Amino acid sequence: MNISKRAGSIPPSSTLAITAKVREMKARGEDIIGFGAGEPDFTTPAVICDAAIDAIHDGQTHYAPTPGTPAAREAVAAKLREENGIDCSADHITINNGAKFTVYLALQALVDPGDEVILPTPAWVSYKPMIELAGGTMVEIAADASAEFKITPEQLEAAITPRTRVMLLNSPSNPCGTMYSPDEIHGLVSVLERHPHVTVVSDEIYEQLVYGDHPALSVGSIDSMRDRTVTINGLSKTFAMTGWRIGYACAPGDGGAVIKAMNTMQSQMTSSITSFTMPAVVTALGAGRAEVDGMRRTFAGRAELIHGLVRQWDDVLCPRPTGAFYIFPDISCTFGRVSPGGIRLESAMEFASALLAEAGVAVVPGNDFLGPGPRHVRMSFATSEEQIAEGCGRVREWLGKLT
Ligand SMILES: Cc1ncc(COP(=O)(O)O)c(C=O)c1O
């Protein structure tokens, strides 16, 4: 059977592949500490589950409006107004099957073949394939650990051309675990203000999970950017709802023109999200918000713990995690050395596979995150303090045996 060139050009998600491999190894009874997971290890708050269960029993089991019910869209708009300071209404909101599909729809709505999309790297593995599926050309701006993986206004200015259509921003960042301060966002915005043809797609899925001195500043809350920012968020990470598949976008510009285009595509692709989750959206963004701070505080404690432990690894550089639930150490000091099992470490790829085979610790090699990624591994701290301590101890011991 013929597989299209489009399908053939897209690699599978490496992060989901690691998660699947660890699941298999654990099912075989192997003693694995997994730092691969891209999802909270908490369960969805009961009040949110109850809202969906009640909706099923109430018969809300038929097709829902494509962009989401009016109540769910209003709940999202209210959250964005109150928590993020974005001037928007329900008409500017679309609700989609996970923020991953929201990013996909936004790029499909904005990018024509040949358009350039600026992507600061290291970046989440799915952005590049999604840019390419839209026919866009990725223009990478790399930032390394010494800059906490953050690009400068000068780098941004140098990357913008007349063909730039979109700048993708993800703060706090997967995989870096760092975030832009409000001043740094304003610095980037001062460049964007000189280039009104550029739209910002701001993926703020980790915006509530922050551990530093600043809250996350939404680009779309800055007056000059309101009409050319697509803000993307969802319930997956904040409310431990990854399996529910609920993401959303807000774009008030041109009377919600981007949202309308996304809805038209969604109407032909998936219709709407699952109907009986709509009341759960309203509950999560209402009563459910009270549960978020407890999860955030637990993540903050783990961020501190894992950073302290990783810093004990000789010569490994690692910025402090200030957002999301990832830490992204530079392990390039091990390159050229040989693991206890006889594997020569040349990049994060060999590092991760030797570590898994020899120490039973699963990390994600940074190669697919681009930029300086091949010198790094991503470790998720969406796991217990005991697992963090045990896993980091095993890595330290294994590092001590490299020759
Ligand atoms: C930066 C970023 N954006 C979007 C998503 C997708 O979230 P969802 O599970 O809602 O599709 C992820 C998930 O890993 C992510 O890390």
Kindly report, residue by residue over 226-245, the tens digit of the pLDDT.
Answer: 999 999 999 999 999 999 99
pLDDT value, residue 252 = 98
Q: Is 176 in the pocket of ligand 1 (CB under 6 A)?
A: no
pLDDT value, residue 222 = 98
**Nearest residue (CA) to ligand 1, atom 16:** 174
Write out the CATH class of domain 5-43+292-399.
Answer: alpha beta
Asked if residue 108 lies in contact with residue 134, where contact means CB atoms within 8 angstroms, the answer is yes
Q: Cα(137)–Cα(117) distance, rounded to whole angstroms?
A: 6
pLDDT value, residue 116 = 98
The pTM score is 0.96
Atom in ligand 1 nearest the alpha carbon of residue 100: 11
pLDDT value, residue 272 = 96
Q: Among residues of the chain, what percentage have pLDDT more than 90?
A: 90
**Nearest residue (CA) to ligand 1, atom 7:** 99
Q: Which regions of the chain carry the CATH code 3.90.1150.10?
A: 5-43+292-399
pLDDT tens digit string along 342-364?
999 999 999 999 999 999 999 99
pLDDT value, residue 43 = 95
Q: Is 177 in the pocket of ligand 1 (CB under 6 A)?
A: no
pLDDT value, residue 23 = 85
Fold adopted by 47-290: Aspartate Aminotransferase; domain 2 (3.40.640)
Residues of the chain with pLDDT under 50: none
pLDDT value, residue 57 = 98
Q: Is 273 in the pocket of ligand 1 (CB under 6 A)?
A: no
Atom in ligand 1 nearest the alpha carbon of residue 246: 10
pLDDT value, residue 246 = 98
Asked if residue 367 lies in contact with residue 361, where contact means CB atoms within 8 angstroms, the answer is no
Q: Is 38 in the pocket of ligand 1 (CB under 6 A)?
A: yes
CA of 325 to the centre of ligand 1 (A): 12
CA dihedral 6, 8, 10, 16 (to 10 degrees): 140
Q: Which regions of the chain carry the CATH code 3.40.640.10?
A: 47-290
**Nearest of 336, 371, 364 to residue 348 by alpha carbon:** 364
